[in-house]
């Protein structure tokens, strides 16, 4: 039984091979091939193109597709799994994606072939949750802005929010999306003594320490709003001009999820007109952020270059988590993160 893993700049070949090596004891022959980019920015640009245009938007080289018909399993992170690849992989039975989103896989083509698609839910949830907390604190306490001024020799203690710098204790923080990331953030906020509300129509189980509310209530009552939802046709621009108008003028908006969840132009306008105290953003409609982007002209934002999920622990652990899923699959376990409803039949 053969498995092809396609590494990338974020999960290099040594991480990929080490994480999947436990499958060798089950008789799986693992081969790792490298999807090369000069730097992380190029990989992020390719990933953004795939998210917007689908797996056909970025072609894989023939060196990565050679002898693809020999493999029963394929594991990727960002590499596109196109219809062309799926049709050429005559023996392919399972596709494993080392993240939650599977935008890089042609799901209809996989379904036509009866191929199971697995994802890795929560694989970088802690990394994103910790970064979200860092962005919240950086924005409300002016940490990044103060650092930037000090590096220029400017001892500055006056900022756009200086008249109302809050603490998180006893403040209401709203979480839009209450999955793996949102629940971790809620735990951190609980330790700070915050009141926590969450909006997620798909949330299951006990929401403690958060209280589930509707979106309008969350936006009208929260001092900080942090977004952790999935991007879909239904959630695109879920925070637009109307929703921003619901927010308190001294509130802060944080986004470490997907830029498409917010109407970026409407957010820039609200920040520029001081109808919103501030924002902290890790994701943008265009990446890298253009030098003339209006966000860069504002003094009430904290910006990061799409790095929330990028920790060495998340990247090292992702292949290990997928190896666990595949090992359980090969041993007949049906409790698996199947995203396309096709249960696997591959067994040792």
Residues in Cβ contact with 339 at an 8 Å cutoff, skipping those fewer than 6 apart:
97, 102, 107, 117, 118, 119
pLDDT computed for residue 122 by the predictor: 86
In the numeric block, which tokens belong to residue 14?
């040594």
Distance CA 186, CA 317 (A): 23
Residues in Cβ contact with 93 at an 8 Å cutoff, skipping those fewer than 6 apart:
72, 73, 115, 116, 344, 345, 346
Give me the chain's average pLDDT, please.
Answer: 95
Q: Collapsing DSSP states into helix, strand and coil, what is residue 284?
A: coil
Q: What length does the chain have?
A: 348
CA dihedral 60, 63, 68, 73 (to 10 degrees): -70
- Is this model's pTM higher than 0.75 or not? yes
Per-residue confidence band for 348, with pLDDT thresholds at 50, 70 and 90: confident
pLDDT computed for residue 52 by the predictor: 86
Distance CA 159, CA 136 (A): 16
What letter would DSSP give residue 249?
Answer: T
Place of tokens 């993160």: 337
Q: What are phi and psi of 266, to 5 degrees?
A: -65, -35
Catalytic residues: 258, 287, 306
Higher local confidence (pLDDT), 123 or 126:
126
Q: Average of pLDDT values for 127-152? A: 97
Q: Average of pLDDT values for 115-130? A: 95
Per-residue confidence band for 51, with pLDDT thresholds at 50, 70 and 90: confident
Distance of CA 22 to the CA centre of its chain: 27
pLDDT computed for residue 79 by the predictor: 96
Q: Average of pLDDT values for 173-199? A: 97
CB atoms within 10 A of CB 161: 18
What is the set of domains in the chain, with CATH numbers? 2-123+311-330 (3.40.50.720), 125-303 (3.40.50.720)
Q: Average of pLDDT values for 306-335? A: 93
In contact, 261 and 212? CB cutoff 8 Å:
no
Residue 58 CA: distances (Å) to CA of 43, 48, 260: 11, 10, 20
pLDDT computed for residue 316 by the predictor: 87
pLDDT computed for residue 315 by the predictor: 87
Per-residue confidence band for 265, with pLDDT thresholds at 50, 70 and 90: very high
| pLDDT beyond 90 at 146 | yes
pLDDT computed for residue 196 by the predictor: 98
313-325: per-residue pLDDT in tens?
988 899 999 999 9
Sheet holding 211-212, edge to edge: 211-212, 195-199, 172-176, 224-227, 252-255, 278-281, 301-303
Per-residue confidence band for 269, with pLDDT thresholds at 50, 70 and 90: very high
200-235: per-residue pLDDT in tens?
999 999 999 999 999 999 999 999 999 999 998 999
Q: Average of pLDDT values for 173-194? A: 97
18-42: per-residue pLDDT in tens?
999 999 999 999 999 999 999 888 9
Buried b (16+ CB within 10 A) or exposed e, 280-295: bbbbbeeeeeeeebeb
Helix (H) or strand (E) holding 47: helix 40-53
Residues 258, 261, 263, CA angle at the centre, nearest 5°? 120
pLDDT computed for residue 40 by the predictor: 85
Q: Average of pLDDT values for 279-292? A: 95
Q: Average of pLDDT values for 238-255? A: 98
Task: Give alpha helix (H) positions in 82-209.
Answer: 83-88, 107-113, 125-140, 143-151, 180-192
Tell me what percent of the residues of the chain surpass a pLDDT of 90: 91
In contact, 187 and 174? CB cutoff 8 Å:
no
| pLDDT beyond 90 at 48 | no
The H helix count followed by the E strand count for the chain is 12, 12
For residue 251, give the nearest of 319, 330, 305, 197 by alpha carbon: 197
Distance CA 338, CA 28 (A): 20
What letter would DSSP give residue 89?
Answer: -
């Amino acid at each position: 039984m053969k498995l092809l893993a396609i590494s990338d700049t974020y999960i290099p070949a040594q991480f990929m091979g080490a994480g999947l090596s436990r499958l060798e004891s089950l008789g799986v022959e693992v081969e790792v091939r490298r999807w090369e980019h000069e730097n992380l920015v190029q990989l992020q640009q390719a990933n953004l193109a795939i998210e917007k245009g689908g797996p056909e938007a970025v072609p894989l080289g023939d060196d990565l597709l050679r002898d693809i018909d020999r493999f029963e399993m394929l594991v990727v992170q960002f590499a596109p799994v196109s219809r062309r690849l799926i049709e050429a992989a005559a023996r392919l039975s399972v596709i494993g994606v080392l993240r939650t989103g599977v935008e890089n896989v042609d799901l209809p083509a996989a379904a036509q072939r009866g191929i199971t698609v697995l994802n890795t839910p929560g694989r970088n949830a802690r990394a994103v949750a910790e970064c979200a907390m860092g962005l919240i604190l950086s924005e409300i306490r002016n940490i990044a802005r103060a650092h930037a001024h000090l590096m220029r020799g400017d001892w500055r203690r006056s900022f756009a929010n200086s008249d109302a710098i809050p603490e998180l204790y006893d403040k209401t923080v709203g979480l839009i999306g209450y999955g793996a990331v949102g629940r971790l953030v809620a735990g951190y906020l609980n330790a700070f003594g915050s009141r926590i509300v969450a909006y997620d129509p798909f949330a299951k189980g006990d929401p403690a320490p958060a209280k589930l509310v509707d979106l309008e209530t969350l936006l009208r009552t929260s001092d900080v709003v942090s977004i952790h939802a999935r991007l879909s046709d239904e959630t695109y621009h879920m925070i637009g001009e109307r929703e921003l108008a619901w927010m308190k003028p001294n509130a802060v908006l944080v986004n470490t999820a997907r830029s498409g969840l917010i109407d970026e132009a409407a957010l820039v306008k609200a920040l520029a007109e001081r109808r919103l105290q501030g924002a902290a953003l890790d994701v943008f409609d265009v990446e890298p952020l253009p030098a003339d982007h209006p966000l860069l002209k504002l003094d009430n934002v904290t910006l990061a270059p799409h790095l929330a999920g990028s920790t060495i622990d998340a990247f090292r652990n992702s292949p290990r988590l997928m190896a666990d899923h595949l090992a359980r699959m090969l041993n007949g376990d049906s409790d698996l993160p199947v995203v396309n409803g096709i249960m696997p039949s591959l067994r040792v």
